[in-house]
Every structure is written in structure tokens, then in C-alpha cells.
Amino acid sequence: MNKETKLIITVDGYSSCGKSTFARAIADELGYIYIDSGAMYRAVTLFCLRRGLVAGGVADTGRIISVLPEIDITFRRDGEKGYSETLLNGEPVEREIRGREVSDNVSAVSTIAGVRVKLVELQRSMGKGGGIVMDGRDIGTVVFPGAELKIFMTATPEVRAKRRYLELVSKGLPADYEAVVRNISDRDRIDSTREASPLRRADDAVILDNSVMTPEEQMVWFRKLYEERANESRD
């Protein structure tokens, strides 16, 4: 691994493991672009909710597939720090896609194979030049199986529920701890048992269990991994 090479770095794992915080920090450090693939599934879900094509965790697969050509997802970047806002057909939806209704329905929409085909294609085109960190569930297994550096994140369900709850509170969104626990365990089950691209660790992904790690400790861990890989490729 040449340090000048612009890599593709994948960060997969369970929901609310702190993937996006970690992936964004790596991207900042390396001067890479950060792409949140979950935001894309959330934006498609929001579109479907507004059209009444998904409700109560049940999706109308046939109709959702037929409206896919109407959906355009882009990111608007704030030049500094790689912060990005998700746009659904040009409309900023960052806040809305983090809300409970989307969270409760996103697994149903993201199990639809046609939805995944569309988004995987978009993700590949966004990452093709390298120099990106993309987080999600299937980035190291399906989207970029040849990525140079793959990380699989995990943390205990209790830690994840607490983080998600605090995140909602800090954003001023309605937060109910018991509902968060239910949503996380439902999503784990659906994400890892679905037929299309289930969540699983790529054989060559390195595990990062951050249950008891601070963001700073995770960066120390990452720098060490990155250096090791760089040294290996020089030997």
C-alpha cells in the first residue's frame, strides 16, 4: 500500500455502532471523501413513505420498483471537514431521514433487491476514483469487494441503544429508549437475515469492537492498522 495511493476504505457493521463518526474521522484524517450509504437507503425510504408505498414496516415491492427511476439521491458537501447533507431529488432531507418513521421502515425497503441494485450502482460510481471512506452493511462484501482496507465494526446492543438514544436527544428528535432498543434489535435481525446482501463480515475485514473505546482510541487503533498495512506493502 503506497501512502500516496488513494484507497477505498470500507466500514461495515451493525446499526448505531458509531460507524459514521468513525468513518468521517478517518476521511478527515486522510483527506478522503466520506460517503454514508445508509443515508441513501433512508432517502429512498422517505420517498416511499411520502408516496404511501411503505408503512408499518411493510413495503409494496412492486410499486417501489416502478418508482425507482423517479428517485435521485445526491450529497451536498460543505467543503470543510467533509460534512455532507443528503438531497432527495434536490431537497435537503438530512434531518427527516434520521427520524423514527424512516428508521422503522428502512429495513423493509432495503431488503428489496431492485433498490439495492440501484444504490450499489450509485455507490460504485461515487467511489470509483478511490480516496473515499464508505460506511454501510455490504460495502466490503458487495459494493467494493476489492477494497484495500476493510473494517467491520461492532459493539454490544446496550451500548448501541444508549448511543442512538443520546444522538436523538442531542438532535432534538423524539426519543423513547425502549423503542430504540426494539428498533435496533429488529434491524439487526432483518439486516443480517435478509436474502439480498445480508450484513456479514468480509473475510478480509478487520474487526473493531468499540464497546468500551472512545473516538480518540478508535483513531489510534486505525492509525496503527493503516501504518501496518503501509509497511507490509513496502516489505
The residue ranges that bind ligand DC (CB under 6 A) are 15, 37-38, 41-42, 106-107, 110, 136-139, 187, 191
Angle at 188 between CA 120 and CA 107, to 5 degrees: 50
The nearest distance, CB 102 to ligand DC, in angstroms, is 8
The nearest distance, CB 106 to ligand DC, in angstroms, is 4
Contact status, residue 122 vs residue 40, Cβ threshold 8 Å: yes
Torsion of CA 86, 87, 92, 96, to 10 degrees: -60
**Cβ distance to ligand DC smaller for residue 7 or 197:** 197
Distance CA 135, CA 86 (A): 15
**Cβ distance to ligand DC smaller for residue 163 or 187:** 187
The nearest distance, CB 226 to ligand DC, in angstroms, is 22
The nearest distance, CB 225 to ligand DC, in angstroms, is 21
Q: Which three cell numbers stand for residue 99?
A: 427520524
Angle between helix axes 177-193 and 157-170 (nearest 10 degrees) is 120
**Cβ distance to ligand DC smaller for residue 197 or 226:** 197
**Cβ distance to ligand DC smaller for residue 5 or 192:** 192
Residue type for position 207? I
